[in-house]
Amino acid sequence: MSTSTPIVNSANSTPEKRELTTKPRFSDKVFRGVATAGGLSSLVILGLILIFLGYQGFQVLRSEGIGFITGSNWQVVQDNAGNTDLEASTFGIAAMLVGTLLCAALAVSIAVPISVLCALYLTFYAPQFLKKMMVAIIDLMAAFPSILFGMWGFFILMPHVEYWAKLIHRYFSWIPLFKMEIPVYTRSPFVAGVVLAIMIIPIITSVSREIFSQTPLDRIQAAYALGATRWSMIRAVVIPYGKSGVVGGAMLGLGRAMGETVAVYTVLNLVYQINWHVLIGAGGNVASMILLKFGEAGPTETRALMAAGLVLFILTLIVNSIANAIVSRTGGKGR
């Protein structure tokens, strides 16, 4: 009965107050340091890409100046000893830049309507089983390797697209974009654009679907309650809400289309001239030009290719950053 009294009475045995602190322990400090280092690695890698491509391409960029982007000549001049003469050679990627933008813009303008309609169907029209199946199939398509699109595009799609190109030329050749003097339909930017469009449809579809499915449910129900049909609901509620998200998705697709290498290489005839006419079989793409020239390039030309890679990298970085900024701003304010 009296066993507990000594403990209560003795002043010495009360446990000391534990020191309360919000300071992280040593293990936490290490952990946070490691995680932060891991997180910062993306910054480091992107920075290193800029630095090394810039360093390797510096010589060429300095000797060409702004002409590297505005000129459309790619000529390697060698002196008697077989070394490349940097002063006499000209490196300009304007033709390839124009080709890149042309193919990518064409791809986006074909892919966006299809993807948006597809996303609308999947979000608001499709029965549940069809929706699940199609979402899985479209996600799978996003994981298809680009060489697959390249070979399929070359062997299966190209004959069809050439036929479409002929039809377009016959009926729409009064539009400057579709004009051509000499009819050469093979391996044109149009073909590349169609192949790229098929590649980016899954990306734009999944971004649009994500945005559409975040449309506030109360607004949808309100529209229905006011007697809207499905289409008028979509026009009044979904499209105003998801517009900027779709723009962001389209720009993500644009970024992917601009950086595409192998698929474009197989279906596009690389010709060194600025060509705005999409149906003519002569076009360009910075990425596939790099792949094409890399095999037989000497040291100096390789440096020029690095500089071209730098330009492509910066271009896609800008497009992707804008796209991501738009998408993340839209996605936040869901239901």
Partner 1 sequence: MSTPTLKPTRPWKLTPKQRGLIVLNLVIASALSYLIVLLTPMKGKLAYLSIFFIATIVINFAENYFKRGLAAAKDSIATSFAAAGLIVAVVPIFSILFTIFERGRAGLNFGLFLHDMKLNGPNDPLNQGGLLHALIGSGIMVGIALLISLPIGILTAIYLTEIKGIYSRPIKFLVQAMSGVPSIVAGLFILSAIVFPITKSSSGLMGGFALAILMIPTIARTSEEVLLLIPNDLREAGVALGGTQWRTISLIVVPAAKSGLITATILGLARVAGETAPLVLVSGGGDAVNTNPFQSPMGSLPFYIWKGFTFGTTESIARSWAGIFVLLSLIFILFIAARTLSGSRSSK
Q: What is the footprint of partner 1 within residues 33-92 (CB under 8 A)?
A: 34-43, 45-46, 48-49, 52-53, 55-56
Q: Is residue 74 within a helix (H) or strand (E), and if so which, with residue range? A: strand 74-75
Which range, of 15-23, 67-75, 178-186, 258-266, touches partner 1 by CB under 8 A?
Answer: 258-266
Distance (Å, rounded) from C-alpha 258 to C-alpha 104? 6
Q: Is residue 75 within a helix (H) or strand (E), and if so which, with residue range? A: strand 74-75
CB of 218 to partner 1, least distance (A): 19
- Region class of 227: left (phi > 0), else alpha (psi between -120 and 50), else beta: left
CB of 79 to partner 1, least distance (A): 22
Q: Is residue 168 within a helix (H) or strand (E), and if so which, with residue range? A: helix 158-172
The one among 321, 329, 334, 335 contacting partner 1 by CB under 8 A: 321
The one among 158, 192, 258, 279 contacting partner 1 by CB under 8 A: 258
Which range, of 9-17, 181-189, 259-267, 271-279, touches partner 1 by CB under 8 A?
Answer: 259-267
Distance (Å, rounded) from C-alpha 268 to C-alpha 264? 6
CB of 248 to partner 1, least distance (A): 11
Distance (Å, rounded) from C-alpha 278 to C-alpha 160? 16
User: DSSP readout, 121-164?
Assistant: IIIIIS-HHHHHHHHHHHHHHHTS-HHHHHHHIIIIIHHHHHHH
The one among 75, 79, 109, 156 contacting partner 1 by CB under 8 A: 156
The one among 77, 88, 140, 226 contacting partner 1 by CB under 8 A: 140
Distance between first and last Cα of the chain: 64
Size of the site for partner 1 (CB under 8 A): 100
Q: Which is nearer to partner 1, 7 or 333 (CB)?
A: 333
* 171 touching partner 1, by CB under 8 A: no
* Contact set for partner 1, span 191-220 (CB under 8 A): 198, 201-202, 205, 213
The one among 97, 237, 252, 279 contacting partner 1 by CB under 8 A: 252
CA 210 from chain centre, in angstroms, equals: 17
The one among 60, 97, 106, 122 contacting partner 1 by CB under 8 A: 122
* Contact set for partner 1, span 232-251 (CB under 8 A): 232, 234
Please enumerate, as own/partner, the contacts of 88-91 that have beta carbons within 8 Å and a separation of 24 or more: 89/300, 89/301, 90/64, 91/60, 91/64, 91/301, 91/304, 91/307
Distance (Å, rounded) from C-alpha 118 to C-alpha 134? 10
Which 3 state secondary structure label does DSSP give 93? coil
* 255 touching partner 1, by CB under 8 A: yes
The one among 78, 125, 217, 334 contacting partner 1 by CB under 8 A: 125
CB of 167 to partner 1, least distance (A): 8
Which range, of 12-20, 66-74, 172-180, 285-293, touches partner 1 by CB under 8 A?
Answer: 285-293
